Structure 1
Amino acid sequence: NWNRSDLFTSDYLEGYEENQITDFLPSFNTRVSYTHYRLSLPNDDIRFLISGNYVLTAWEPGNPDTPLLVRRFFISEGSSSAAVVFRRPMKPGATETHQQAEITVSTGTLAVTDPYRQITLTIMQNGRSDRMRAGITPDFVGSGRLEYNTLSDKTLMPGGNEFRYFDIKTIRQTRQNVRTIDFVNGIYHALLLPSEDREFKPYFFNEDFNGRYVVAMEESNEPDREADYVWVWFTLPAYSELRGGSVYVAGDFCGWQHGPANRMTWNPARGCYEASLLLKQGWYNYEYLFIPAGGSGPEGYAFEGSHWETENDYLILTYFRDPTRRYDRLTGITLANTRPQ
């Protein structure tokens, strides 16, 4: 899990727990002024000592309780491996909408004495914390081999849909799924084409980045400091406002978070949901999510639909509870795609 451990800093880190980011550059020739910061880990100030789940937090000087950025990452030992094959689910009600992984873990030289208690898997779809299953125990145990089969629903996940996308790598003319680009009050505004409701439409493949984004611009090889920020306007027509929750536009660009910044508002006069986000030039994947009031994650497939054929990336994390240690070792990470090349 992502709860803070009871380890001392010196148990998992060599160096200082807090460090200044000293690699930064001001923006150049942009309408929106900003500072671009860069951090590489490990570096001369920090070296990681053990495997596991880590959290990086960045904040302004003197204001650690209000983080500007929070990012999770993993460090693996590479002492175990996993083979993954995807099957179409046979569970009633999930055959058309879900995906299921059949996983075989090789424990290698790990001293496993009780695999049902010591070895657990975490599965993440497209790097999303809201599409994750943790604490998965094996269905079958053999000699140095653990199997997680499709007879149970432990690895069953909604397939979702291929992601929507738009291109704002240039502001001189419109690109994919951008209707207009206007310069208003000293800043560029990109109005996207109205989105369609895909909930009950058949599956259609299109190549995407599985929810990710790339900062880029056509006119420069240094987008880190020369790409501008653009107000991007989203429009999602709907027959009526959904009750009991809120609609969000989400993707890796917002860390898959659901907050005021990416919450859409209902416009009854136009019969649509609307949102505007300040984003850096590039190529973006996104989707619409309905979050019930008081809920922590998406519910149902409103506006997007879900299909077993959807191309997705899955991250398989293998954890080993070593009785001689005070933490769960992350012994292996495997990235698998539902459409292997």
Structure 2
Amino acid sequence: MHKLIAILLFFIPSLLSAQTNSFTYENKIYQPNIKTVLCYNTSREQSLPVIQLNSAETITFSFNDLLGGTKNYWYSIEHCTSDWQPSRISTIDYLGSFNDDRMINYRYSSNTTRKYTHYEQTFPNSQIQPKIGGNYLLKIYLDGDKNQPVISQRFYIVDNQVAVTAEITNSMQVADRNSKQKVNFTINHSIPIPNPYQDLKAVVMQNFNSNTAKVNTRPFFVRPNQLVYNDLTTNDFWGDNEFRKFDTRSLRYKADNVKDIYRDSESVNVMLFQDVPRNTGAFANQFDENGNFFIKNTDGRDDRTEAEYMSVLFTLNAKAPSANGDAYVVGRFNNYTLGKENKLLYDASRKQFYASMMLKQGLYDYEYAWFNYDTKTLETFPFEGSFFQTENTYQIFVYYRRPGARWETLVGYANISNRVNDRR
């Protein structure tokens, strides 16, 4: 018995280490010194990381290391299922090139209070060449060792075989018509789809926020070369509210929503104006970037290496919506995830939430969300409200597994908006 206990004690730390030092199939940063991960279609800054298979389009990926210096970062990609699990197929099936490569494109920051090293990579390239469509996970790791994860990042490659048309309307449910939006869409195809209820899947999400994703497996109508998804009860999304925002593209003056800027020889501190809940009253229209953010420094020449890192103070004057929960600041800048960095502390005596986050100089959209531990739900309504008039973008991803195939292929994609003349 004692020998068995000794053996277990020997292996448990190794098992825990193995669990810790492994990639998860989500957008995640594993090292505290890594900041400002960007991943987008190179044709447009901060566009969605979606490219066409066998085209000239590329993905640009970058991040900053606040420890500075030069490290030996490597990267590889892995094909995934529509629900972001490993496809478990050989790299030979989805890569027509090498399995991994070293990141050699880096530059040091200049004229900044906080020193950092900027790493950047564009792919497909001569080393990494995907050859099938689908969901992909980009993995960044240290010293060529995948047991030392640094970043995991999702991106998409579309093998265009179907066309997707869509519209955004009010919810068909009477009680939700003033607060929700409904997405109806149609898949037009010329390829044979013998069993669309089993072989085809469509995922709809709002503002590229995976927390909002809805999976469609059953078309409402099946017509020759056409699948229609317009069931009265599906694809209803909370309209939410227009995103809050702040502008720190210049630190020489106080721009939009910036109350104060404090600088010294070691740090830059930005205090935002205090926010209040917007869940009551009428809808107020304002232009936003639908949760996006942009790294910009109008005081310098190079946004990548001359933009400052700032400690940004967020303050929300509001009561806690329930007794058992936490508030967070979310946006695309942190992939709408919940973590220690973006969790707000609550001062019950002042009825005030606050948090300080280190962010790179630029233009940011953000909102406040409440995670209720009793219901295990994340919702923005307690702080932001929800209105059907809100301008949002919706992404539709269509996956098809051919009979007998071993993986799902991303065969269609659409990005639509209820904003007039929005071409994003």
1:39 alignment partner, one of 104, 107, 121: 121
| Aligned position for 1:332 | 412
| Aligned position for 1:24 | 106
Where do residues 50-199 of structure 1 align in structure 2 (5 Å cutoff)? 50-61=132-143, 64-65=146-147, 67-108=149-190, 110-149=191-230, 151-184=231-264, 186-199=266-279
1:3 alignment partner, one of 56, 77, 85: 85
Moved more, 26-35 or 315-324: 315-324
Deviation of residue 62 (structure 1)?
Answer: 6.2
Aligned residues: 339
- Give me the whole-angstrom Cα distance separating, in 1, the residues matched to 2:338 and 2:147: 20
Instruction: Mark the runs of 5 or more structure 2 residues left unpaired by the alignment.
Output: 1-82
Deviation of residue 101 (structure 1)?
Answer: 1.2
Provide closer, same or farther for how the CA distance between residues 4 and 335 of structure 1 changes in structure 2, counting only shifts above 3 A: same
Q: Is the 8 A contact 2:322 2:372 kept in 1?
A: no
Provide closer, same or farther for how the CA distance between residues 241 and 91 of structure 1 changes in structure 2, counting only shifts above 3 A: closer
| Aligned position for 1:315 | 395
Deviation of residue 221 (structure 1)?
Answer: 3.1
Deviation of residue 243 (structure 1)?
Answer: 1.9
**RMSD between superposed Cα atoms in Å:** 1.7
- Give me the whole-angstrom Cα distance separating, in 2, the residues matched to 1:329 and 1:83: 19
- Give me the whole-angstrom Cα distance separating, in 1, the residues matched to 2:400 and 2:155: 18
Provide closer, same or farther for how the CA distance between residues 169 and 146 of structure 1 changes in structure 2, counting only shifts above 3 A: same
Deviation of residue 41 (structure 1)?
Answer: 1.1
In structure 1, give the amino acid aligned to 2:288: D
Deviation of residue 107 (structure 1)?
Answer: 1.2
2:343 alignment partner, one of 251, 255, 263: 263
Q: Secondary structure at the match of 2:304?
A: helix
Q: Secondary structure at the match of 2:356?
A: strand
| Aligned position for 2:13 | none
- Give me the whole-angstrom Cα distance separating, in 2, the residues matched to 1:154 and 1:295: 22
Moved more, 12-21 or 160-169: 12-21
- Give me the whole-angstrom Cα distance separating, in 1, the residues matched to 2:286 and 2:142: 40
Is it true that 1:280 corresponds to 2:340 in the alignment?
Answer: no
TM-score (norm 1): 0.95
Structure ranking higher in helix proportion: 2
Q: Is the 8 A contact 2:345 2:354 kept in 1?
A: yes
In structure 2, give the amino acid aligned to 1:328: E
| Aligned position for 2:319 | 239
Q: Is the 8 A contact 1:120 1:138 kept in 2?
A: no
Deviation of residue 106 (structure 1)?
Answer: 0.3
- Give me the whole-angstrom Cα distance separating, in 2, the residues matched to 1:218 and 1:193: 22
Provide closer, same or farther for how the CA distance between residues 65 and 290 of structure 1 changes in structure 2, counting only shifts above 3 A: farther
Q: Is the 8 A contact 1:58 1:67 kept in 2?
A: yes
- Give me the whole-angstrom Cα distance separating, in 1, the residues matched to 2:334 and 2:238: 21
TM-score (norm 2): 0.77
- Give me the whole-angstrom Cα distance separating, in 2, the residues matched to 1:62 and 1:46: 15
Instruction: Mark the runs of 5 or more structure 1 residues left unpaired by the alignment.
Output: none
After superposition, give the CA deviation of every residue in 1:254-295 in whole Å (9 maximum; x if it has no partner): 111111111010123432100011000000000001112287
Q: Secondary structure at the match of 1:253?
A: helix
Moved more, 24-33 or 321-330: 321-330
Q: Secondary structure at the match of 2:100?
A: coil
Deviation of residue 63 (structure 1)?
Answer: 6.0
In structure 2, give the amino acid aligned to 1:55: L
- Give me the whole-angstrom Cα distance separating, in 2, the residues matched to 1:165 and 1:171: 16
Deviation of residue 93 (structure 1)?
Answer: 2.4
Deviation of residue 296 (structure 1)?
Answer: 6.5
Provide closer, same or farther for how the CA distance between residues 278 and 131 of structure 1 changes in structure 2, counting only shifts above 3 A: same
- Give me the whole-angstrom Cα distance separating, in 2, the residues matched to 1:307 and 1:33: 43
In structure 2, give the amino acid aligned to 1:111: P
After superposition, give the CA deviation of every residue in 1:152-179 in whole Å (9 maximum; x if it has no partner): 3221111111100000111111100000
2:309 alignment partner, one of 218, 229, 235: 229
In structure 1, give the amino acid aligned to 2:94: Y
Deviation of residue 75 (structure 1)?
Answer: 0.7
Moved more, 115-124 or 37-46: 115-124
Deviation of residue 31 (structure 1)?
Answer: 0.4
Deviation of residue 61 (structure 1)?
Answer: 2.6
Identity of aligned residues (%): 29
- Give me the whole-angstrom Cα distance separating, in 2, the residues matched to 1:157 and 1:241: 21
In structure 2, give the amino acid aligned to 1:58: I
Provide closer, same or farther for how the CA distance between residues 64 and 264 of structure 1 changes in structure 2, counting only shifts above 3 A: farther
Deviation of residue 38 (structure 1)?
Answer: 0.7
In structure 2, give the amino acid aligned to 1:26: Y
Q: Secondary structure at the match of 2:384?
A: coil
